[in-house]
A and B are shown apart, each in its own frame.
Chain A
Amino acid sequence: MTIPSRQPLPLADAVQPGLRRQMMAVARRDLRRELRRGEVAWVTIPFGAVAVLAIPLAIGIDVPTLNRVGPGLYWVVVLLFGVLVTVRHTATEQGVAAVSARLGIDPAAAYLGAATASAVLLVVFEVAVGMIAVALYDIDPERWPWLLLVVPAVAVGLALLGTMAGSVAAGATATNLVPFLVVPLALPLLIGATAAFDAGLTQPGGILRWVLMLLLVDVAALVLGVLTARQLQETG
């Protein structure tokens, strides 16, 4: 029996779960894959830690200076190295997308599920590298409760943008294209995160508008990603 290449398998129609269940299934699949491979835990987090360690060697090991610029450097490391978390399986994305389509998984659910898994991993990455930065740069985490808002907001935004860019660049001949696509788009996250951190230290009330900006970026990426997911899943 021949099955048309771009049609879902007949069985998939019979047992089609809802969007949320599909999304959670995709997220679980990606997280299980990360548990097996340990790419973020054993490669990306140590790589980020090396960056946090190496930067003072370039700008000088003056502790007050590091204390002052440390938060900004930390968010730059999160942006540049966090992208690697979101694109960890780009090389196989096209094949996974084709299989997902055959199984009848909604493209929006596939997008949201992959982004959810990336967001979880990014929070882990941010916390791990953040602890290293606090220790090495002697950053005062006096108002750390603000980070409970900023860290997940940055993780979600970066995960949504990175997943979308991964889908956009799936099958591209240039293997390192995705970070180049994501970083310019993700700069509002960097601006929002650094400004929110500064505002949290100096004028706690001012943090809210920067958190709102981060959430605005998250919502925009979410809406665009869902609306374009079907277009990006098509093959050929």
Chain B
Amino acid sequence: MTVTTQDQRRGVLDVAAIVAIAAAVLVAFATPPEATQGNVARLFNIHVPSILVAYLCFGLTLIGGTAYLVTRRLRFDHLAVAAAEVGVVFTGLTMLVGMIWAKPIWGVYWTWSARLILTAVMFFGYLGYLALRRAIDDPIARARRAAVFGIISIGIIPIVHFSVLWWRDVHQPPTLLRPDEMQIDGPLLAAFLAGLVASTLVAAALIVRRYRLAAREAELDSLLASADVPVAGDAVTAPTLDGAP
């Protein structure tokens, strides 16, 4: 088996992601506990980067879909599906970590906050995107229809992000992405940034691998469509009379 340059690059990305995770864990535990929430607040170093990376992934789905509709090159569709799948994983991770954090702080795993509801809606919206892809067999129709749905679905992201400003409830307003100054101390910001870098690298590594898988699937589909494969009718022979030549 030969190792190509692309394989080597993927390997470098994988290693970088693993190193970044290790570094993020070290930095997270090297910083002092947060003043009011204590050690539980360290979960924010996974929770917030995960949702930001999910936004980024869904943005890539939008870009991939739009580029496919303009160029009709399937590689952009591969990018769109790879990013959407990884985005769904990171959205799920955001909700899971958020619920683990919420139990000791709010006393419940789930509360009816606008941000939580809309994040769940975004999760199900992009699950719908993936379900749509699975329900269409023809790769060209699938790419085109998924591209359109990916473009429409992006509208939910600003609503999710600004929900904490529009509906003031138990969920805290943005700490970093806010119009005025960031409200976070230096060491906590360092831990957060380490988490953000690690999450981004993990997402990038996953997207690259899923993109390659999508390309391989397309190649396989193409080969199967063009191959001279036997069909069920081949096993049937015309009946002949006994003794006939």
Contacts and interface: CB of A to CB of B under 8 A. Distances in A.
At the interface, is chain B mostly helix, strand, loop or mixed? helix
Contact of A169 (B124, B138, B145): B145
Contacts of A174: 131, 134-135
A220 B149 contact: no
Contacts of B148: 164, 168, 228, 231-232
Contacts of B135: 169, 172-174, 177
Interface in B126-160: 128, 131-132, 134-138, 140-141, 144-145, 147-149, 151-153, 155-156, 159
Interface string B188-211: 000000000000000000000000
A168 B151 contact: no
Kindly name the residue among B140, B151, B152 whose own CB sees the greatest number of chain A CB atoms within 10 A.
B152
A185 interface: yes
A8 interface: no
The dominant DSSP class at the A interface is: helix
Contact of B132 (A172, A188, A235): A172
Contacts of B46: none
A172 B136 CA distance: 5
Interface in B101-117: none
A181 interface: yes
| Central interface residue in B121, B128, B131, by most chain A CB within 10 Å | B128
Given A184-B121, A184-B125, A224-B151, A232 B156 contact: no
Contacts, number: 67
B63 to A, nearest CB: 16
A187 interface: yes
Contacts of A235: 141
A177 B127 CA distance: 11
Contact of B122 (A177, A184, A188): A184
Contacts of B125: 184-185
B149 A184 contact: no
Contact of A231 (B69, B122, B128, B159): B69
B144 A173 contact: no
Interface string A193-236: 00000000000000000000000000010001000100110111
A180 interface: yes
A177 B152 contact: no
B151 A184 contact: no
A231 B147 CA distance: 10
Interface string A93-133: 00000000000000000000000000000000000000000
Interface residues of A, number: 24
Nearest to B138: A236
Contacts of B149: 165, 168, 181
A182 B141 CA distance: 19
Interface in B189-243: none
A182 to B, nearest CB: 9
A10 to B, nearest CB: 27
A219 to B, nearest CB: 12
A185 B153 contact: yes
B122 to A, nearest CB: 7
Contacts of B122: 184
A79 to B, nearest CB: 12
A173 B134 CA distance: 8
Nearest to B118: A187
Interface in B66-86: 69
Given A232-B148, A236-B138, A185 B156 contact: yes
A168 B145 CA distance: 5
Nearest to B163: A191
Contact of B121 (A168, A187, A234): A187
A164 B144 CA distance: 13
B123 to A, nearest CB: 9
Contacts of B134: 174
A39 B138 CA distance: 31
Contacts of A185: 125, 152-153, 155-156
Given A168-B149, A184-B121, A236-B138, 17 more contacts: A164-B152, A169-B135, A172-B136, A174-B131, A174-B134, A177-B131, A180-B131, A184-B153, A184-B156, A185-B152, A185-B156, A188-B159, A220-B155, A224-B152, A232-B148, A235-B141, A236-B141
Closest 5 CB pairs of A and B: A184-B125, A172-B135, A174-B135, A228-B148, A181-B128
9 contacts: A165-B149, A168-B145, A171-B138, A171-B141, A174-B135, A177-B128, A180-B128, A220-B155, A228-B69
